[in-house]
Chain A
Amino acid sequence: GAVVSQHPSRVICKSGTSVKIECRSLDFQATTMFWYRQFPKQSLMLMATSNEGSKATYEQGVEKDKFLINHASLTLSTLTVTSAHPEDSSFYICSAPPGTGDEKLFFGSGTQLSVL
């Protein structure tokens, strides 16, 4: 089945630094990937849609200059949290449709970001 790999699984950083999270589709090409954020005991909230070869589409209330998304190839999307602050601490997870006509979304294993 389709596999989505997300790295790193956990990162701890100082306030003010930038953190890059990678999401790779391992056995399929993904022209679209989705980035979600999950706060403790809350549900997943869609942040943005990553589009290969074009600009990402951000959901209302998500700062595009804060959360930089790059989808440079058909198998890789990256989310960079710029100048991270403690309030950015959250669980970030990506997903991608396999593009085979299967409508299930496949999710990465997530990244737990802790900003000190």
Chain B
Amino acid sequence: KQEVTQIPAALSVPEGENLVLNCSFTDSAIYNLQWFRQDPGKGLTSLLLIQSSQREQTSGRLNASLDKSSGRSTLYIAASQPGDSATYLCAVDTGTASKLTFGTGTRLQVTL
């Protein structure tokens, strides 16, 4: 059974700092991995999707890497802003009808 873990569970950083969120998964036989953002009481916004054959994806200040063999992914956020404050979730797709297994998330707070 696939298990997804995210570390740290919570993180507080001052504005402007670069930061890294970590995601690990137990079964390396994945189809893709996605990073999502969730604001309190809201739905999820897809940030980046990395195919199993890819090593990284970039979008603006966000960069996600994937090391499938070691079961790890990182989300790098450059020059953090207060608007980045949210919970960040990673999820792996094992290729079975797009069913996702989610991590428990990292709650990020960027302070002024």
Contacts and interface: CB of A to CB of B under 8 A. Distances in A.
B34 A104 contact: yes
Interface in A40-98: 41-46, 49, 91, 93, 95, 97
Interface of B: 4, 32, 34, 36, 41-46, 49, 51, 89, 91, 93, 97-105
A29 interface: no
Contacts, number: 56
B52 to A, nearest CB: 11
Given A106-B46, A109-B42, 20 more contacts: A6-B43, A32-B97, A34-B100, A41-B104, A42-B104, A43-B89, A43-B102, A44-B100, A44-B102, A46-B100, A46-B101, A49-B99, A103-B32, A103-B49, A103-B51, A105-B100, A107-B44, A108-B43, A109-B43, A110-B42
15 contacts: A32-B97, A34-B98, A34-B99, A43-B102, A44-B44, A44-B91, A49-B97, A103-B32, A105-B46, A105-B100, A107-B43, A107-B46, A110-B41, A110-B42, A112-B41
Interface of A: 4, 6, 32, 34, 41-46, 49, 91, 93, 95, 97, 103-110, 112
Contacts of B41: 91, 110, 112
Contacts of A104: 34, 46, 49
User: Chain B interface secondary structure, helix, strand, loop or mixed?
Assistant: strand
A105 B89 contact: no
A112 B45 CA distance: 17
Contact of A46 (B4, B46, B99): B99
A95 B45 CA distance: 11
A93 B89 contact: no
A103 B98 contact: yes
Contacts of B44: 44, 93, 95, 107
B43 A105 contact: no
A34 B97 CA distance: 10
Nearest to B6: A43
